[in-house]
Structure 1
């Protein structure tokens, strides 16, 4: 009888641990959008510009929606990073040669989080390579975080809206630990 009780206790403990390990990671989505003005003849010669759109990010509401707060965060890593062009119709990323994204927060060094060394021709959406192992917790829990861009290429011939969708894997501590 004791052996059977121990067996059930082990099964319940394993189920509890498996359930808790799934509960303490949440996906948090962030979205930014910026408009790149059409190029003047001089700007067509320039090779660096900023896409913008991710200034002053605060994840407090996203955490609250998940029943957590910034104090509950153990770790944050970028899971995916995608760029698309909502306007004008038919516009591609042919004006870009490369692009890199950086996390910034007061009191912390600027850190690269994603990049694309060569932008494929004809693409209107891009899966940007995530820099593995970059810990974003200090940036996400800071009062204010920004994601900045460094891009090379030339400005597009027409005003272009670029949208970025970022998914973060946030490890929070719960009552399961």
Structure 2
């Protein structure tokens, strides 16, 4: 079939149509990417343990906001394809002046159950900076789809002490996950 438009003019008209199609695809892709934010509190018990000693805390159950976030993005856990940790921040809340100076290193693991049968590294930090009441851990990069599908997961903490912790310390863990999912 012969075109009635000269080739340069046809290309000139085709280019905006291609750019419009590409930007529409990007908008659809953006609709399928969103964040899930969770927060939980836990207590690190006072310890007279020496520096260099390993400290393993019992699992902490987290009720995730994932189900409501999925619904707000017109999807469900069944359509989740890719979940990764974007950031994990720990903040001492009580006593308010307590720093993380008692830690040399810390690793946080995630599991689907309280037994931790399928736990994987979520994030870690080594060395832990001194003088800080808030620290940001480095995400492991592990794929976390199955951990955010059920709406609940368990966090396990393993740390190496830099010095003894003289008093119980309450900590808030704030996490943000990147989620990619299909529309339902």
TM-score by length of 2: 0.79
Aligned-partner Cα distance in 2 for 1:9–1:85: 54
Unmatched 5+ residue regions in structure 2?
A: none
Aligned-partner Cα distance in 1 for 2:151–2:96: 37
Pick which of 104-113 and 12-21 moved more: 104-113
Aligned-partner Cα distance in 2 for 1:51–1:85: 18
Q: State the partner residue of 1:11.
A: 19
Q: Deviations over 1:129-159 (max 9, x none)?
A: 1112x11012222464212111121552122
- Does 2:122 match 1:113? yes
Aligned-partner Cα distance in 2 for 1:61–1:143: 9
Unmatched 5+ residue regions in structure 1?
A: none
Q: State the partner residue of 1:21.
A: 29
Local SS of the residue matching 1:15:
helix
Aligned-partner Cα distance in 1 for 2:154–2:20: 44
Contact 1:51 1:162 in 2 (8 A): no
- Does 2:53 match 1:50? no
Contact 1:100 1:149 in 2 (8 A): yes
Contact 1:99 1:151 in 2 (8 A): yes
Which of the pair has more CA radius of gyration?
Answer: 2
Q: State the partner residue of 2:133.
A: 124
Contact 2:106 2:125 in 1 (8 A): yes
Local SS of the residue matching 2:28:
helix
Local SS of the residue matching 1:20:
helix
TM-score by length of 1: 0.82
Q: State the partner residue of 2:108.
A: 101
Deviation at 1:87, TM superposition (A): 1.5
Contact 2:40 2:62 in 1 (8 A): no
Shift in CA distance, 155/163, structure 1 to aligned 2, threshold 3 Å: farther
